[in-house]
Amino acid sequence: MPFPILRTPFVVLSEIISLLEPNEIVTASCCSKNLKHLLKRHYQQRKPLEWRLTMIYVESRGRVDIVRDGDRKTVMFASPISELNEPMPISKGYVKTFSRGCSVLYFEDRVTGIKMIVDYVTDLLNLDVYTLEIDRLGIWTIGWINEWQKKMLVRLDFHENSDYTWNGDEALDYELRNARTLDLNILDDNMDEKVSDNFRFDGEMGPMRQLWINFSGHWVTLNNLINIDAISIVVRESSLSVPDLYSFVRHWRAGGSPRLKFLRLELNTATNFEQFEDEFEIFERDITGEYHLNRGTYWHFDNGYSIQRNDGVKAVIDFGDENFVVMVCLGEDVYDRDNYLKRDSDQKFLLHRK
């Protein structure tokens, strides 16, 4: 039985719109210019602040997702026209279809396609691009986003999963130099394709909130580490030596890397920390506690060492065969378990009382 939605009072229409899923809103907006205008006006008045718009361009396939409370919904696809099952008339450079609960647009030009769907969804929902998810073939999107929107990207996920024989070193170098983002995540989907052993980076990294190098961190030198301006740094497959790590700790004690709160290096090299206690003045040993990472994960430590910066700020250092971790103890609430356990708590660091 049809329901004449446009004949309902404004307050009812707003309530119905607010109950729709993001993909349903985008699909409904394709019904008519009039309905699109109504939906657009709704989101101009009520910006969906908790929605995170993600632009994805991986393996030259584009799509736009909306993430809300951890739930991710694709709202629009941009696919190459060669993937159409049957020939269809092209209008304005694309063919519009509907599949898997959302609109799929087939373009002759893939770059135009992703740009067009991002423009459409951001305009409709009154949102900026929050996360950019790309591989080597999507490197160009960094420059485009920087030009296209005033607001800085919050998160950039870089996948090393392209089947094409592009220069991975060049792509990563470009990404590190040009990414203006709060969180930079370098991810790995295909273990066979990594940056070369000779890759080195001589530029600046940061300021950012988080740098997460999830693969091939061998290129991160002591000099890189000292110069990264980030609150949280995770480097996997690091090739830094123990003397390098001691040099970094001395740099931190002297006031270097002042914004750093959490550093974790997963080491690929042989580790021997026997000299640690001789190298630094230790305030406390065998400290236990945890540091809250993302999405409910945390770093737990049982044998931490407490050291102090020249200005009095303390840090716990935890190390083992594979890891070297620095956690900075800021604030008065390092023992406050209740506050630490609260959802969205600012307290990331917890020390257990003995």
Partner 1 sequence: MSSTEQGTSSAAPAEPTTAPESAAAPEVPESFYYVHGKDKVVHKVSAGALQHSALIHGMISNLGYTEEQAKANPFPFENIDGDILQMVVDWCNQHKGKPTPPEDTNLPKQKEKLFDLVLAVNYLEIKELLTYCCKQVAMMVKGKSPEEIREIWMIPTDAEDEAAEKEAKKRAGKEAAGETAAAAGDAK
Among 2, 70, 87, 312, binds partner 1 (CB under 8 A): 2
Smallest separation (angstroms) from partner 1 to the CB of 348: 34
Tell which residue, 242, 214, 247, 208, has the closest CA to residue 228.
208
In the complex, least distance from residue 3 CB atom to partner 1, rounded to whole angstroms: 6
Separation between Cα atoms, residue 145 and residue 34, nearest integer Å? 29
Residue with tokens 């070297």: 324
C-alpha 192 chain-centroid distance: 23
Alpha carbons 65 and 81: distance in angstroms, whole number: 21
Q: How many CA atoms lie within 13 A of 203 on its CB side?
A: 12
* Contact track, partner 1, 293-332, x by CB under 8 A: ----------------------------------------
Q: How far is the CB of 92 from partner 1 (least distance, A)?
A: 14
Site of tokens 């206690």: 277
Distance CA 327, CA 264 (A): 9
Q: Which stretch binds partner 1 (CB under 8 A): 1-9, 196-204, 262-270, 334-342?
A: 1-9
* Residue in 299, 273, 297, 269 with CA at minimum distance from that of residue 285: 273
CB nearer partner 1, residue 11 or residue 270: 11
Interface region with partner 1, contact rule CB under 8 A, candidates 95-103, 230-238, 270-278, 316-324: 95-103
Closer residue to partner 1 (CB): 33 or 343: 33
CA–CA gap between residue 107 and residue 76 (Å, rounded): 13
Site for partner 1 in 100-159 (CB under 8 A): 101, 103
Which listed residue (44, 46, 98, 341) binds partner 1 by CB under 8 A?
98
88 sits in which H/E element: none
Which of residues 8 and 339 has its CB atom nearest to partner 1 in the complex? Answer: 8
Site for partner 1 in 333-352 (CB under 8 A): none
- Of the pair 10, 270, the CB lying nearest partner 1 is at 10
The smaller minimum CB distance to partner 1, of residues 23 and 216, is found at 23
Please answer whether residues 189 and 159 qualify as being in contact, where contact means their C-beta atoms are separated by less than 8 angstroms. yes
Tell me the HSE value of 239 on the side-chain side, using a 13 A CA sphere.
Answer: 11
Size of the site for partner 1 (CB under 8 A): 28
CA distance 319 to 310: 22
| Smallest separation, CB 1 to partner 1 (Å) | 4
The Cα 106–Cα 84 span in angstroms is 7
- Residue 33 or 150 having the CB closest to partner 1: 33
- Residue closer to partner 1 (CB basis): 98 or 335: 98
Q: Where are the alpha helices (DSSP H) in the chain?
A: 10-18, 22-29, 33-45, 110-125, 140-148, 168-178, 222-227, 242-253, 276-279, 337-341
Residue written as tokens 């959802």? 343
Would strands 153-159 and 181-187 be described as parallel, antiparallel, or unpaired? parallel
Nearer to partner 1, 29 or 185 (CB): 29
The rounded distance, in Å, linking the Cα atoms of 102 and 117 is 12
Residue closer to partner 1 by CB (options 19, 270) is 19
CB 234, min distance to partner 1, A: 39
170 binds partner 1 (CB under 8 A): no
Kindly give the pairing relationship between strand 71-80 and strand 94-99: unpaired
Site mask for partner 1 (CB under 8 A), range 6-45, x = bound: xxxx-xx--xx--xxx--x--xx-xxxxxx----------
Among 4, 70, 89, 312, binds partner 1 (CB under 8 A): 4
Positions touching partner 1 (CB under 8 A) are 1-9, 11-12, 15-16, 19-21, 24, 27-28, 30-35, 98, 101, 103
